[in-house]
Amino acid sequence: MVVTLIDNVNIMSMDPSQTDNGVLRQTQLWIQDDKILAVGSAGAYSPVPDHRIDAGGKWALPGFIDCHTHLVYGGSRADEFRQRLSGTRYQDIARAGGGIQKTVRDTRTAAPQNLLQHSLRRTRRLVEEGVTTIEVKSGYGLDEQTELTMLNVAEQLGVYLPVTVMRTYLGAHTLPHQYKDNADGYIDFVCNTMIPKIATGEHASAVDVFCETMGFTAAQTERVFQAARSAGLAIKLHAEQLSDSKGAVLAARYQACSVDHIEYLDPNDVPALAEAGCVAVLLPGAFYYLKETQCPPVSALRQHNVPMAVASDHNPGTSPICSLLTCATMACIEFGLTCEEALLGITAYAAQALKLPDKGRLLAGLDADICLWDIEEPADLIYEMNGFRPYCRWVGGRYVD
Ligand SMILES: [Zn+2]
């Protein structure tokens, strides 16, 4: 048993039940092995610490959680970026065989070692700014072998870097070329071949679908949800990014842990999310890169107490951003979140979007994923865009300089 005492520390515990996100000043934080032993004084039973650190008034926050990424892929879409800058629409690029299809080709032909090397570089940027948990989706292989390779590479990110990796199978991301004009046939393959294999081999803990006019219909999405449910996998959804396809209400019916994007979500559909305990994941990076103007219905989400998470959605086409803190600032400026909401969105509510109740908050008994910040107040992290790096951190109770 190893006990660490962080003394003279300011804490923002990110407990959403506290009005001020759980601020405690000039207090103590105790770690025992991989868990938080106590927040504040450990009381009469406090053990003698093996390590004692004087934080000198620095702030302790939970490690950040990026709950929606596509970090593993081959190639670059800089060319497409150039085309979009000169006015070509994303939908038109996709129809001409660019967009996701280009990344699918590049990912299928990339050597796994090469995929790992590039994904590590991107993940390292997130880790450097205090991210201790990431979600990574497949969806650029579409065939069995490449999807499994992507998920295997995602797992290895957590071997090489101090970060917990949650994996999501996104087979229904786009239609592979060989299933052109046979979307239902591809959904058969996703539901009958891939999902049982993913569940049995524990290659991922959740399933996601791109439900959109240029993706999959609500009926096809529902078939994937049914297969995921019978395989015991959690459900997430890319919903209402470019149109109101009624994906979010469908996801709520299947108790999805999150619906992501939701710029076009009808405010009348928000109560269904609240009832299902579904997290709304806001992705301001894609909104920014696509120069969208329709914002998610933040006031309706607030009114119905739907937890709002914020993620980078790092992907090669619509959100090539390797900074969760940048996205947290963007969520405030573009979508009108408060600094406190943005911080909850990359901690407690991001944990909820991944069904990780032991992460995202600094409370006794939870995982000791803690970053120490040399800042005046936590809002500094949102106010100064991408301006700070953690002073030090503990990941699963292990000290990382
Ligand atoms: Zn995405």
Question: How many angstroms is it from 289 CA to the middle of ligand 1?
Answer: 13
* Distance separating alpha carbons of residues 32 and 359, to the nearest angstrom: 15
Cα–ligand 1 centroid distance for 139 (angstroms) = 10
Reduced 3-state DSSP string for 21-80 = CCEEEEEEEEEECCEEEEECCCHHHCCCCCEEEECCCCEEEECEEECCCCCCCCCCCHHH
* CA of residue 57 to ligand 1 center, whole Å: 38
Does the pLDDT at position 41 exceed 80?
no
Give the tens place of pLDDT for each residue, 162-173. 999 999 999 999
Q: Which residue has the tokens 């908050």?
A: 361
Supply the pLDDT for residue 189.
98
For residue 182, how far is its CA from the centre of ligand 1 (angstroms)?
A: 23
How far is it, in rounded angstroms, from Cα 9 to Cα 12?
10
Q: How far is the CA of 275 from the centre of ligand 1 (A)?
A: 24
How large a percentage of the chain has pLDDT more than 90?
90
Is it the case that residue 46 has pLDDT exceeding 80?
no
Q: Under CATH, which architecture does the 3-62+361-400 domain have?
A: Roll (2.30)
Element (H or E) spanning 291, and its range? Answer: none
Cβ neighbours of residue 171 closer than 8 Å, sequence gap 6 or more: 138, 139, 142, 147, 189, 190, 194, 195, 207, 224
Kindly tell me if the per-residue pLDDT of 90 is higher than 80: no
How many whole angstroms from 36 Cα to the centroid of ligand 1? 32
339 C-alpha to center of ligand 1: Å?
A: 23
pLDDT of residue 72: 98
Q: In the chain, pLDDT over 70 holds for what percent of residues?
A: 99
Q: Where are the domains of the chain?
A: 3-62+361-400, 64-353
Q: How far away, in angstroms, is 52 Cα from ligand 1 center?
A: 42
Q: What is the pLDDT of residues 214-229, one digit of tens each?
A: 889 999 999 999 999 9
In tens, the pLDDT along 320-377 reads 999 999 999 999 999 999 999 999 999 999 999 999 999 999 999 999 999 999 999 9
Distance from the alpha carbon of residue 371 to the mean position of ligand 1, in angstroms: 26
| Mean pLDDT within 10-25 | 94
Mean pLDDT calculated for residue range 127-146: 98
DSSP state of 267: G
- Digit-coded pLDDT (tens) for 232-281: 999 999 999 989 989 999 999 999 999 999 999 999 999 999 999 999 99
How does residue 160 score in pLDDT terms, banded at 50, 70 and 90? very high
Residue from 395, 388, 392, 309 nearest 352 by CA: 309
137 pLDDT higher than 90: yes
> Which two tokens mark 246?
């009624």
Strands 164-172 and 398-400: what pairing? unpaired
Provide the residue type at 100 as one letter. I
Rounded to the nearest whole angstrom, what is the distance from the C-alpha of residue 319 to the centroid of ligand 1?
9
Q: Which of 230, 233, 266 is nearest to 248 (CA)?
A: 266
Handedness of CA 179, 94, 282, 295 (dihedral sign): negative
Q: Which residues contact 208 (CB under 8 A, 6 or more apart)?
A: 137, 139, 168, 169, 170, 172, 173, 235, 236, 237, 238, 260
The Cα–Cα gap between 137 and 173 comes to 10
Which residues lie closer than 8 Å to 111 by C-beta, 6 or more apart? Answer: none
- Cα-to-centroid distance, 283 and ligand 1 (Å): 8
- On whether the CB atoms of residues 308 and 297 are closer than 8 A, the answer is no
What average pLDDT does the structure give for the chain?
A: 96
Give the pLDDT confidence score for residue 44 in this predicted structure. Answer: 65
d(CA 79, CA 98): 10
- When pLDDT is cut at 50, 70 and 90, the band that residue 45 belongs to is low
As its CATH architecture, domain 64-353 has Alpha-Beta Barrel (3.20)
Each residue of 50-76: pLDDT tens digit? 999 999 999 999 999 999 999 999 999
